[in-house]
């Protein structure tokens, strides 16, 4: 099984598994998932599909959750520590279909260190399952991204602080 197929299966399992975890008590509190704001970071192992390379990725974000909805928006930055110095600045939109599961989309601008070429368009899709510990949350993430040079897949760990 190819890595991208494995990640897709993992994403489906996380989505269905999280739905099965909801009890009646959780359904009552489905809207209460975060504070109004979150700062977070994600560490991930990134695989470039065309380049067949693996690198470390770091994602930082700031999100505002819209009161009494399952939506949020914010800003993000991704850095992949590879030979190219991959950087992305983007806007983020989030949606939580069920408590603790977040789906995110982030269009942005990508550029590489030391390249005089024009910045390009990038698009990130990510899903995260969070376990809350007070104002902190931690959980696994799976994502896929497009930029003009390549597609990349990421698997990692999300840390966030809500306030």
Per-residue pLDDT of 9-37, as tens digits, reads 656 666 655 554 554 444 444 444 558 99
Say if residue 130 is exposed, middle or buried (CB neighbours under 10 Å; 0-12, 13-18, 19+).
buried
Per-residue model confidence (pLDDT) at position 35: 80
Domain boundaries, the chain: 3-162
Mean predicted lDDT score pLDDT of the chain: 85
What is the rounded CA–CA span in Å between residue 158 and residue 67? 22
- pTM, to two decimals: 0.75
The CATH architecture annotation of domain 3-162 reads Beta Barrel (2.40)
What is the predicted pLDDT for the residue at 12?
62
Counting residues of the chain whose pLDDT is more than 90, the rounded percentage is: 66
Spatial neighbors of 49 by CB under 8 A, at least 6 apart, are: 4, 150, 151, 152, 153
């Amino acid at each position: 099984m190819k890595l991208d197929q494995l990640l897709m299966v993992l994403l489906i399992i996380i989505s269905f598994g999280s739905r099965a975890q909801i009890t009646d008590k959780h359904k009552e509190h489905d809207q209460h998932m975060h504070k109004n704001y979150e700062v977070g970071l994600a560490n991930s192992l990134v695989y470039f599909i065309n380049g067949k390379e693996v690198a470390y990725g770091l994602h930082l974000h700031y999100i505002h959750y819209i009161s009494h909805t399952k939506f949020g928006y914010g800003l993000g930055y991704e850095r992949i520590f590879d030979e190219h110095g991959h950087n992305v600045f983007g806007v983020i939109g989030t949606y939580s279909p069920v408590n603790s599961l977040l789906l995110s989309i982030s269009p942005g601008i990508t550029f590489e260190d030391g390249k005089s070429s024009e910045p390009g368009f990038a698009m990130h899709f990510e899903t995260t399952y969070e376990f809350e510990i007070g104002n902190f949350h931690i959980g696994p993430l799976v994502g896929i991204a497009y930029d003009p040079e390549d597609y990349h897949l990421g698997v990692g760990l999300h840390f966030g602080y809500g306030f």
